[in-house]
Amino acid sequence: MSTLQGKTALVTGASRGIGRAIALRLARDGANIAGLDIKDDLLEETGALVREQGVEFLPITADVTDFDNMKAAVGQFTEAFDSLDIMVNNAGITRDNLLIRMSDEDWRAVISVNLTGVFNGIKAVARPMMRQRSGRIVNIASVVGMVGNAGQANYSASKGGVIALTKTAARELAGRGINVNAVAPGFIRTAMTDELSEEARESALGQIPFARFGEAQDVAAAVAFLAGPDSSYLTGQVIRVDGGMVM
Ligand code: NAP
Protein backbone atom coordinates (compact mmCIF):
# COMPACT_ATOMS: atom_id res chain seq x y z
CA MET A 1 0.00 0.00 0.00
CA SER A 2 1.22 3.52 -0.74
CA THR A 3 2.37 5.32 2.40
CA LEU A 4 -0.16 8.18 2.08
CA GLN A 5 -3.13 6.15 0.78
CA GLY A 6 -6.38 7.85 1.85
CA LYS A 7 -4.61 10.95 3.21
CA THR A 8 -5.20 14.50 2.00
CA ALA A 9 -2.71 17.32 1.46
CA LEU A 10 -2.89 21.06 0.81
CA VAL A 11 0.19 22.43 -0.98
CA THR A 12 0.72 26.19 -1.46
CA GLY A 13 2.60 27.55 -4.48
CA ALA A 14 1.66 24.35 -6.32
CA SER A 15 1.61 25.79 -9.87
CA ARG A 16 5.24 25.13 -10.59
CA GLY A 17 8.74 24.44 -9.29
CA ILE A 18 9.14 22.80 -5.90
CA GLY A 19 5.42 23.09 -5.03
CA ARG A 20 4.42 21.15 -8.14
CA ALA A 21 7.04 18.47 -7.41
CA ILE A 22 5.73 18.16 -3.82
CA ALA A 23 2.13 17.82 -5.04
CA LEU A 24 3.20 15.12 -7.52
CA ARG A 25 5.26 13.20 -4.97
CA LEU A 26 2.50 13.20 -2.32
CA ALA A 27 0.05 12.11 -5.05
CA ARG A 28 2.38 9.30 -6.10
CA ASP A 29 2.43 8.21 -2.45
CA GLY A 30 -1.39 8.02 -2.54
CA ALA A 31 -2.63 11.34 -1.11
CA ASN A 32 -5.50 13.38 -2.58
CA ILE A 33 -4.19 16.86 -3.28
CA ALA A 34 -5.42 20.44 -3.17
CA GLY A 35 -3.01 22.72 -5.01
CA LEU A 36 -3.19 26.38 -4.00
CA ASP A 37 -1.64 29.26 -5.92
CA ILE A 38 -2.15 32.98 -6.38
CA LYS A 39 -2.93 32.55 -10.12
CA ASP A 40 -4.81 29.68 -11.69
CA ASP A 41 -3.14 29.56 -15.14
CA LEU A 42 -0.62 26.80 -14.37
CA LEU A 43 -2.52 25.06 -11.57
CA GLU A 44 -4.47 22.92 -14.03
CA GLU A 45 -1.17 21.60 -15.48
CA THR A 46 -0.21 20.45 -11.98
CA GLY A 47 -3.76 19.05 -11.61
CA ALA A 48 -3.50 16.94 -14.78
CA LEU A 49 -0.18 15.44 -13.62
CA VAL A 50 -1.56 14.75 -10.13
CA ARG A 51 -4.69 13.04 -11.48
CA GLU A 52 -2.47 10.77 -13.63
CA GLN A 53 -1.39 9.24 -10.30
CA GLY A 54 -5.00 8.08 -9.75
CA VAL A 55 -5.85 10.53 -6.94
CA GLU A 56 -8.13 13.57 -6.71
CA PHE A 57 -6.97 17.15 -7.33
CA LEU A 58 -8.71 20.30 -6.13
CA PRO A 59 -7.37 23.62 -7.52
CA ILE A 60 -7.63 26.58 -5.12
CA THR A 61 -6.79 30.15 -6.12
CA ALA A 62 -5.75 32.15 -3.06
CA ASP A 63 -3.13 34.59 -1.81
CA VAL A 64 -1.16 33.27 1.19
CA THR A 65 -0.58 36.83 2.43
CA ASP A 66 -4.32 37.23 3.14
CA PHE A 67 -5.59 35.26 6.15
CA ASP A 68 -9.25 35.47 5.06
CA ASN A 69 -8.25 33.99 1.68
CA MET A 70 -6.46 31.14 3.45
CA LYS A 71 -9.38 30.51 5.79
CA ALA A 72 -11.73 30.34 2.79
CA ALA A 73 -9.25 28.00 1.03
CA VAL A 74 -9.28 25.63 4.01
CA GLY A 75 -13.10 25.84 3.96
CA GLN A 76 -13.06 24.74 0.29
CA PHE A 77 -10.67 21.94 1.21
CA THR A 78 -12.75 20.57 4.09
CA GLU A 79 -15.89 20.67 1.92
CA ALA A 80 -14.17 18.54 -0.72
CA PHE A 81 -12.29 16.11 1.53
CA ASP A 82 -13.16 14.35 4.82
CA SER A 83 -9.93 15.22 6.65
CA LEU A 84 -7.00 17.63 6.40
CA ASP A 85 -3.93 15.51 7.06
CA ILE A 86 -1.00 17.40 5.52
CA MET A 87 -0.30 21.11 4.98
CA VAL A 88 2.78 22.15 3.00
CA ASN A 89 3.56 25.88 3.20
CA ASN A 90 5.74 26.24 0.10
CA ALA A 91 4.77 29.51 -1.67
CA GLY A 92 7.68 31.94 -1.69
CA ILE A 93 9.25 34.80 -3.63
CA THR A 94 12.58 36.62 -3.91
CA ARG A 95 13.28 40.35 -4.41
CA ASP A 96 17.08 40.42 -4.09
CA ASN A 97 19.19 43.50 -3.54
CA LEU A 98 21.97 44.67 -1.26
CA LEU A 99 20.68 45.80 2.12
CA ILE A 100 21.48 49.48 1.57
CA ARG A 101 19.63 49.47 -1.76
CA MET A 102 16.67 47.35 -0.70
CA SER A 103 13.38 49.22 -0.96
CA ASP A 104 10.80 49.13 1.79
CA GLU A 105 8.41 47.62 -0.75
CA ASP A 106 10.76 44.70 -1.55
CA TRP A 107 11.39 44.07 2.15
CA ARG A 108 7.67 43.96 2.92
CA ALA A 109 6.70 41.89 -0.13
CA VAL A 110 9.11 39.08 0.73
CA ILE A 111 8.31 39.04 4.47
CA SER A 112 4.63 39.11 3.61
CA VAL A 113 4.65 36.06 1.29
CA ASN A 114 7.44 33.98 2.85
CA LEU A 115 6.84 34.54 6.56
CA THR A 116 3.32 35.95 7.06
CA GLY A 117 2.14 33.49 4.39
CA VAL A 118 3.44 30.54 6.45
CA PHE A 119 1.88 32.00 9.63
CA ASN A 120 -1.47 32.33 7.81
CA GLY A 121 -1.20 28.78 6.46
CA ILE A 122 -0.46 27.27 9.87
CA LYS A 123 -3.20 29.31 11.57
CA ALA A 124 -5.77 28.38 8.92
CA VAL A 125 -5.21 24.61 9.27
CA ALA A 126 -4.54 24.54 13.03
CA ARG A 127 -8.19 24.36 14.13
CA PRO A 128 -9.33 21.55 11.82
CA MET A 129 -6.16 19.58 12.61
CA MET A 130 -6.61 20.20 16.36
CA ARG A 131 -10.20 18.94 16.13
CA GLN A 132 -9.09 15.73 14.41
CA ARG A 133 -6.16 15.50 16.87
CA SER A 134 -3.67 14.77 14.10
CA GLY A 135 -1.87 16.52 11.27
CA ARG A 136 1.44 17.15 9.59
CA ILE A 137 2.63 20.64 8.72
CA VAL A 138 5.76 21.03 6.60
CA ASN A 139 7.17 24.51 5.96
CA ILE A 140 9.65 25.25 3.19
CA ALA A 141 12.48 27.36 4.61
CA SER A 142 15.97 27.74 3.09
CA VAL A 143 19.55 27.23 4.26
CA VAL A 144 20.05 31.00 3.88
CA GLY A 145 17.66 31.34 6.82
CA MET A 146 20.42 29.67 8.86
CA VAL A 147 23.61 31.21 7.46
CA GLY A 148 22.46 34.42 5.72
CA ASN A 149 23.27 35.46 2.16
CA ALA A 150 24.57 38.76 0.83
CA GLY A 151 21.87 40.35 -1.35
CA GLN A 152 19.01 38.54 0.40
CA ALA A 153 18.34 40.46 3.65
CA ASN A 154 14.56 40.17 3.16
CA TYR A 155 14.61 36.56 1.97
CA SER A 156 17.06 35.21 4.58
CA ALA A 157 15.22 37.03 7.40
CA SER A 158 11.91 35.57 6.20
CA LYS A 159 13.35 32.04 6.07
CA GLY A 160 15.04 32.38 9.48
CA GLY A 161 11.61 33.47 10.71
CA VAL A 162 10.03 30.36 9.16
CA ILE A 163 12.46 28.16 11.11
CA ALA A 164 11.65 29.90 14.43
CA LEU A 165 7.92 29.81 13.62
CA THR A 166 8.16 26.08 12.84
CA LYS A 167 9.71 25.39 16.25
CA THR A 168 7.13 27.51 18.10
CA ALA A 169 4.18 25.92 16.27
CA ALA A 170 5.71 22.48 16.95
CA ARG A 171 5.74 23.23 20.68
CA GLU A 172 2.20 24.63 20.70
CA LEU A 173 0.58 21.91 18.58
CA ALA A 174 2.37 18.73 19.73
CA GLY A 175 -0.22 18.16 22.47
CA ARG A 176 -2.90 17.84 19.75
CA GLY A 177 -0.96 15.27 17.75
CA ILE A 178 0.27 17.72 15.11
CA ASN A 179 3.89 17.52 13.90
CA VAL A 180 5.41 20.71 12.50
CA ASN A 181 8.74 20.51 10.67
CA ALA A 182 10.66 22.39 8.00
CA VAL A 183 12.71 21.54 4.94
CA ALA A 184 15.56 23.92 4.14
CA PRO A 185 16.66 23.58 0.52
CA GLY A 186 19.98 24.88 -0.74
CA PHE A 187 20.15 25.72 -4.46
CA ILE A 188 17.45 23.85 -6.38
CA ARG A 189 16.95 24.05 -10.16
CA THR A 190 13.69 26.05 -10.62
CA ALA A 191 12.54 29.35 -12.17
CA MET A 192 13.74 31.03 -8.96
CA THR A 193 17.37 29.94 -9.48
CA ASP A 194 17.22 30.28 -13.29
CA GLU A 195 17.30 34.03 -12.60
CA LEU A 196 20.80 33.82 -11.04
CA SER A 197 23.66 35.46 -12.92
CA GLU A 198 26.46 33.22 -14.23
CA GLU A 199 28.74 34.69 -11.55
CA ALA A 200 26.27 33.93 -8.73
CA ARG A 201 25.79 30.40 -10.11
CA GLU A 202 29.55 29.70 -10.17
CA SER A 203 29.94 31.07 -6.65
CA ALA A 204 27.04 28.90 -5.41
CA LEU A 205 28.47 25.76 -7.01
CA GLY A 206 31.78 26.44 -5.26
CA GLN A 207 30.01 26.14 -1.87
CA ILE A 208 28.25 22.84 -2.62
CA PRO A 209 30.25 19.64 -1.90
CA PHE A 210 28.20 17.77 -4.56
CA ALA A 211 29.07 20.63 -6.98
CA ARG A 212 25.61 20.66 -8.55
CA PHE A 213 22.19 22.18 -7.87
CA GLY A 214 19.49 19.91 -6.47
CA GLU A 215 16.22 19.01 -8.19
CA ALA A 216 12.72 19.88 -6.97
CA GLN A 217 12.17 16.13 -6.48
CA ASP A 218 14.97 16.04 -3.87
CA VAL A 219 13.01 18.55 -1.76
CA ALA A 220 9.74 16.69 -2.39
CA ALA A 221 11.28 13.45 -1.07
CA ALA A 222 12.12 15.10 2.27
CA VAL A 223 8.60 16.57 2.45
CA ALA A 224 7.10 13.13 1.76
CA PHE A 225 9.15 11.68 4.63
CA LEU A 226 7.98 14.43 7.03
CA ALA A 227 4.37 13.99 5.86
CA GLY A 228 4.44 10.21 6.14
CA PRO A 229 4.22 7.53 8.83
CA ASP A 230 8.00 7.09 9.33
CA SER A 231 8.47 10.53 10.91
CA SER A 232 5.81 10.35 13.64
CA TYR A 233 8.34 11.09 16.44
CA LEU A 234 9.85 14.15 14.70
CA THR A 235 8.70 17.68 15.40
CA GLY A 236 10.33 21.13 15.33
CA GLN A 237 13.09 19.80 13.07
CA VAL A 238 14.72 21.28 9.97
CA ILE A 239 15.94 18.91 7.27
CA ARG A 240 18.51 20.50 4.97
CA VAL A 241 18.40 19.39 1.33
CA ASP A 242 21.44 21.21 0.03
CA GLY A 243 24.10 18.86 -1.34
CA GLY A 244 26.10 19.37 1.87
CA MET A 245 26.31 23.16 1.54
CA VAL A 246 25.54 23.80 5.22
CA MET A 247 26.73 21.21 7.74
P1 NAP B 1 8.77 29.31 -7.85
O2 NAP B 1 9.11 28.40 -9.00
O3 NAP B 1 8.89 30.78 -8.01
O4 NAP B 1 7.29 28.93 -7.34
C5 NAP B 1 6.69 29.62 -6.28
C6 NAP B 1 5.18 29.50 -6.44
O7 NAP B 1 4.56 30.25 -5.35
C8 NAP B 1 4.69 30.14 -7.74
O9 NAP B 1 3.73 29.31 -8.33
C10 NAP B 1 4.07 31.45 -7.25
O11 NAP B 1 3.03 31.94 -8.07
C12 NAP B 1 3.52 31.05 -5.91
N13 NAP B 1 3.22 32.24 -5.09
C14 NAP B 1 3.95 33.38 -5.02
N15 NAP B 1 3.33 34.27 -4.21
C16 NAP B 1 2.20 33.67 -3.78
C17 NAP B 1 1.14 34.08 -2.94
N18 NAP B 1 1.13 35.31 -2.37
N19 NAP B 1 0.13 33.22 -2.69
C20 NAP B 1 0.10 32.00 -3.27
N21 NAP B 1 1.08 31.55 -4.08
C22 NAP B 1 2.11 32.38 -4.35
O23 NAP B 1 9.67 28.96 -6.58
P24 NAP B 1 10.39 27.59 -6.13
O25 NAP B 1 11.81 27.69 -6.50
O26 NAP B 1 9.59 26.40 -6.55
O27 NAP B 1 10.34 27.79 -4.55
C28 NAP B 1 9.36 27.16 -3.72
C29 NAP B 1 9.74 27.38 -2.25
O30 NAP B 1 11.04 26.84 -2.02
C31 NAP B 1 9.82 28.85 -1.86
O32 NAP B 1 9.35 29.01 -0.54
C33 NAP B 1 11.30 29.15 -1.93
O34 NAP B 1 11.67 30.22 -1.11
C35 NAP B 1 11.86 27.83 -1.44
N36 NAP B 1 13.27 27.62 -1.80
C37 NAP B 1 13.63 27.52 -3.12
C38 NAP B 1 14.97 27.31 -3.43
C39 NAP B 1 15.45 27.18 -4.84
O40 NAP B 1 16.67 27.05 -5.03
N41 NAP B 1 14.59 27.18 -5.83
C42 NAP B 1 15.92 27.22 -2.40
C43 NAP B 1 15.50 27.34 -1.09
C44 NAP B 1 14.16 27.52 -0.80
P45 NAP B 1 3.42 32.79 -9.42
O46 NAP B 1 3.96 31.79 -10.36
O47 NAP B 1 2.13 33.36 -9.87
O48 NAP B 1 4.40 33.82 -8.98
Right CATH number for 8-240 from 3.40.50.720, 3.40.50.1820, 3.40.50.300, 3.40.50.10860? 3.40.50.720
Hey, where are the domains in the chain?
8-240
Ligand 1: nearest atom to the Cα of 214 = 40
The Cα 45–Cα 16 span in angstroms is 9
The Cα 108–Cα 95 span in angstroms is 10
The pLDDT value given to residue 1: 59
Q: Is the backbone of residue 145 left (phi > 0), alpha (psi -120 to 50) or beta?
A: alpha
CA of 80 relative to ligand 1 center, distance in Å: 25
The Cα 74–Cα 68 span in angstroms is 10
Specify which residues 97 forms β-bridges with: 152
CA 242 vs CA 74, 107, 238: distances in Å = 31, 25, 12
Catalytic residue among 57, 77, 119, 155: 155
Residue nearest to atom 6 of ligand 1 (CA): 13
Taking each helix axis from N to C terminus, what angle separates 67-80 and 117-132, rounded to the nearest 10 degrees? 40
CA of 17 relative to ligand 1 center, distance in Å: 7
Ligand 1: nearest atom to the Cα of 219 = 30
Q: What is the DSSP string of 41-93?
A: TTHHHHHHHHHTTTS-EEEEE--TT-HHHHHHHHHHHHHHSS---EEEE----
The pLDDT value given to residue 192: 86
Please give all residues whose beta carbon lies within 6 A of any atom in ligand 1, as ranges: 12-13, 15-19, 37-39, 63-65, 90-93, 113, 117, 140, 142, 185, 187-188, 190-193
The pLDDT value given to residue 82: 94
The pLDDT value given to residue 14: 98
Give me the average pLDDT of each 10-residue run along the chain (247 residues).
92 98 98 97 97 98 98 98 98 97 98 99 98 98 97 98 99 98 98 89 95 98 98 98 97
Q: Catalytic site residue 233?
A: no
Ligand 1: nearest atom to the Cα of 188 = 40
The pLDDT value given to residue 231: 97
